[in-house]
């Protein structure tokens, strides 16, 4: 059994077979053989080795003739490793005596060899691990042939283990069969983490290198609460986690009864509890969990999951589906937040050494007006189908907001001239995600209909921490006193001006912060759909005076650790016995 500590980015427990994306995104379909199949499987291994050897020989000869014998020697070394008698004997022993399938024997053995090379201090020798992995891929391709099951066409549940997953890759994971994922790199608050949370699957990132320690088909546990990954768990550990999964199911079932109840505090104050979504199909889950509306529709995922650039009709159909399904509940559509780590597959942006400070979000939309106008036209057309609100992301200056509003007004005129119906009273809002927006909040409240605080970016820009960088992950925290003071600074002027303000970052989905946010004056929260029941339950157990005391105390503390500990203590004091 091996434990890996990473960063917990999406809660939950998952137990299942590993699918290691390092071996080209296909899985090993079975690990064990029946006794009478051993001889035929040994023959299959022999054929695969012969096939792989022929491939390597062809590569060696081609490279030698074009680049010289020195380069061809690389493949000659591969050939020697493949034909090594010790390796072959070890593979055959695993098949004959332990009844491993050839695929599983190959993966287990060669990944162990690769790990030995990786552990060497000599850099040149350590890089030989890549040669071992290359041989593993060749053998698996030969063994699996047409039976290869790729990540996009799974047929049974798996846990995905990868070096990294981009937000677009995460968005296209097969939701029916991918039950969780782990990546070697990445940090809290990354868009990959947000997608995982939206999918409601456990996820851990930033574990460091481990892919050579695991083979496809191995049993793995992902603990998305603790950021823990367990490879090859023993029976006792498996039993304990299976019991925890059952306990979580029981707890989730107990929350079903409050689905149709209002998110109303114990002293009778109503809190609007909205859902965050990335894809139209998530609307069903929001309704199932009792959401009061959609507080954040991240429309950029229309691009990240698409094979072609969406046109106006693609946008309209997606928005119309969400608006109609919500049946009169408010739907806040955020305009594109592309850029930084959210880049479509087929449209790479220019190389940017600091993409989170570069051309992204509203800046990108204002620079690419055809893209922006296409989306705004679709939003306006969908606005007649329900209660649509439009929201601009990452606004830093009043000028940016005014430019966006002018373009929206221009499109309204255009639609009007062509007789296309739209909501003339469409509510216009902006996200508060950068300290500059907070500092200018008294000006912004005079120009918009609503505000929404995006803490994922606000934390990043306030603390100067790249939220996708595991090396500074420990510095990325919603508990930082500077972040809490900025939220307070944004909420007070908005409330005083009568401008509705919500909070839609990951912070709003964590019960630890619920009392603090209510105490700071927020009466609207937008969270991942899976978090709605738990947050609603908590809201219904607290009073606003209790929350105000908590917020007042938190604002006096100097350190993130002290604030987080205090909030946990208060939560446990009021709701003792519940493991939040």
> Which residue in 61, 46, 63, 55 sits closest to 105, CA to CA?
46
Q: What's phi and psi for 27, nearest 5 deg?
A: -110, 160
Active-site residue list: 191, 504
The whole-angstrom separation of Cα 212 and Cα 165 is 17
The whole-angstrom separation of Cα 267 and Cα 578 is 22
User: The whole model's pTM is what?
Assistant: 0.73
* Alpha-helical segments (H) within 280-431: 283-288, 301-304, 312-325, 361-367, 369-382, 398-417
Read off the pLDDT of each residue in 318-329 and give the average, rounded to a whole number. Answer: 96
Instruction: Name the CA dihedral angle for 194, 529, 426, 327, rounded to a multiple of 10 degrees.
Output: 150
**57-71, 129-143, 164-178, 338-352: least confidently modelled range:** 338-352
Query: Which segments of 113-172 are extended strands (E)?
Result: 149-150, 158-162
Q: How many CB atoms lie under 10 A from the CB of residue 47?
A: 13
With tokens 């693609």, the residue in question is 314
Read off the pLDDT of each residue in 475-497 and give the average, rounded to a whole number. Answer: 96
Beta-carbon contacts of 416 under 8 Å, excluding residues fewer than 6 positions away, are: none
Q: Which secondary structure element, helix H or strand E, spans residue 243, and what is its range?
A: helix 235-255
pLDDT band at residue 145, thresholds of 50, 70 and 90?
confident
Mean pLDDT across the chain: 87
Read off the pLDDT of each residue in 230-258 and give the average, rounded to a whole number. Answer: 88
> Which residue in 273, 245, 211, 265 sits closest to 508, CA to CA?
273
Chain-centroid distance, C-alpha 63: 41
> Would strands 450-453 and 501-503 be described as parallel, antiparallel, or unpaired?
parallel
Tell me the per-residue pLDDT of 495-524, one tens digit each, with 9 for 90 and over. Answer: 999 999 999 988 999 999 999 999 999 999
Read off the pLDDT of each residue in 223-235 and give the average, rounded to a whole number. Answer: 92
Q: What is the pLDDT of residue 193?
A: 74
Beta-ladder partners of 345 = none
**65-69, 94-98, 536-540: least confidently modelled range:** 65-69
Beta-carbon contacts of 574 under 8 Å, excluding residues fewer than 6 positions away, are: 515, 541, 542, 546
- If you ran DSSP here, which 8-state letter would residue 166 be given? -
Q: What is the pLDDT of residue 349?
A: 47
Phi-psi map region of 190: left, alpha, beta (phi>0 left; psi -120 to 50 alpha): beta
Q: With a cut of 60, say whether residue 147 has pLDDT above it.
A: no
Q: How far is CA 51 from CA 82, 113, 221, 534, in A?
A: 11, 21, 35, 55
Q: For the chain, give the percent of residues with pLDDT over 70.
A: 90
Contact between 18 and 220 under an 8 Å Cβ cutoff? The reply is yes
Range ranked top by mean pLDDT from 86-95, 109-118, 245-254, 570-579: 86-95
Beta-ladder partners of 2 = 231
Q: With a cut of 70, say whether residue 233 has pLDDT above it.
A: yes
Q: What is the pLDDT of residue 28?
A: 66
> Would strands 13-20 and 158-162 be described as parallel, antiparallel, or unpaired?
parallel
The whole-angstrom separation of Cα 346 and Cα 475 is 33
Q: With a cut of 70, say whether residue 190 has pLDDT above it.
A: no
Q: What is the pLDDT of residue 167?
A: 65
Q: With a cut of 80, say whether residue 304 has pLDDT above it.
A: no
pLDDT band at residue 152, thresholds of 50, 70 and 90?
low
Q: What is the pLDDT of residue 143?
A: 85
Read off the pLDDT of each residue in 350-358 and give the average, rounded to a whole number. Answer: 69
Helix or strand or coil: residue 228? strand
pLDDT band at residue 359, thresholds of 50, 70 and 90?
confident
> Which residue in 569, 563, 574 sits closest to 540, CA to CA?
574
Q: With a cut of 90, say whether residue 457 has pLDDT above it.
A: yes
* Alpha-helical segments (H) within 31-127: 38-67, 69-82, 85-97, 102-118, 123-126
Q: With a cut of 90, say whether residue 194 has pLDDT above it.
A: no
- If you ran DSSP here, which 8-state letter would residue 100 be given? B
Q: For the chain, give the percent of residues with pLDDT over 90.
A: 53
Read off the pLDDT of each residue in 350-355 and give the average, rounded to a whole number. Answer: 62
Q: How far is CA 388 from CA 319, 334, 378, 444, in A?
A: 9, 11, 12, 21
């Amino acid at each position: 059994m091996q434990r890996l500590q990473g960063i917990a980015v999406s809660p939950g427990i998952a137990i299942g077979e590993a699918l290691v994306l390092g071996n080209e995104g296909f899985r090993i379909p079975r690990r064990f053989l029946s006794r009478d199949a051993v001889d035929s499987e040994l023959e299959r291994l022999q054929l695969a080795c012969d096939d792989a050897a022929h491939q390597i020989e062809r590569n060696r000869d081609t490279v030698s003739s074009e680049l010289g014998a020195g380069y061809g020697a690389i493949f000659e070394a591969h050939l020697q490793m493949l034909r090594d008698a010790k390796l072959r004997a070890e593979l055959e022993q695993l098949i004959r005596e332990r009844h491993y399938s050839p695929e599983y024997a190959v993966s287990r053995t060669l990944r162990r060899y690769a790990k030995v090379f990786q552990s060497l201090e000599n850099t040149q020798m350590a890089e030989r691990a890549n040669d071992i992995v290359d041989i593993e891929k060749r053998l698996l391709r030969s063994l699996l042939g047409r039976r290869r099951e790729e990540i996009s066409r799974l047929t049974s549940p798996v846990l995905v283990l990868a070096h990294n997953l981009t937000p677009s890759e995460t968005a296209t994971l097969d939701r029916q069969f991918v039950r969780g994922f782990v990546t070697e790199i990445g940090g809290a608050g990354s868009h990959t983490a947000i997608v995982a949370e939206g999918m409601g699957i456990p996820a851990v990132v930033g574990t460091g290198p481990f892919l050579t320690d695991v083979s496809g088909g191995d049993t793995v546990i992902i603990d998305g609460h603790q950021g823990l990954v367990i490879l090859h768990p023993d029976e006792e550990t498996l039993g304990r986690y299976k019991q925890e999964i059952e306990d979580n199911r029981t707890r989730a079932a107990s929350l079903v009864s409050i689905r149709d109840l209002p998110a109303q505090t114990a002293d009778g104050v109503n809190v609007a509890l909205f859902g965050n979504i990335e894809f139209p199909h998530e609307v069903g889950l929001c309704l199932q969990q009792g959401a009061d509306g959609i507080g954040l529709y991240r429309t950029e995922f229309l691009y990240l999951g698409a094979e072609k650039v969406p046109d106006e009709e693609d946008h309209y159909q997606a928005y119309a589906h969400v608006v109609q399904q919500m049946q009169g509940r408010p739907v806040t559509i955020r305009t594109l937040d592309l850029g930084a780590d959210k880049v479509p597959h087929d449209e790479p942006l220019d190389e940017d050494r600091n993409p989170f400070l570069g051309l992204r979000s509203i800046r990108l939309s204002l620079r690419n007006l055809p893209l922006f106008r296409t989306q705004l036209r679709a939003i306006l057309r969908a606005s007649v189908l329900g209660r649509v609100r439009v929201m601009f992301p990452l606004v830093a200056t009043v000028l940016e907001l005014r430019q966006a509003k002018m373009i929206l007004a221009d499109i309204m005129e255009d639609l009007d001239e062509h007789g296309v119906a739209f909501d003339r009273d469409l509510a216009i809002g902006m996200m508060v995600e950068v300290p500059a927006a907070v500092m200018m909040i008294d000006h912004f409240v005079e120009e918009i209909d609503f505000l929404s605080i995006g803490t994922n970016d606000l934390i990043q820009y306030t603390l100067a921490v790249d939220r996708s960088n595991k090396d500074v992950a420990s510095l990325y925290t919603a508990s930082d006193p500077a972040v809490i003071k900025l939220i307070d600074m944004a909420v007070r002027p908005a409330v005083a001006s009568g401008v509705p303000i919500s909070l839609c970052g990951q912070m709003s989905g964590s019960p630890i912060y619920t009392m603090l946010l209510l105490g700071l004056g927020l009466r609207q929260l937008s969270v991942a759909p899976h978090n709605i029941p738990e947050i609603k339950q908590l809201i219904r157990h607290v009073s606003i005076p209790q929350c105000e005391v908590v917020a007042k105390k938190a604002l006096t503390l100097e350190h993130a650790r002290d604030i987080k500990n205090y909030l946990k203590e208060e939560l446990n004091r009021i709701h003792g016995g519940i493991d939040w």
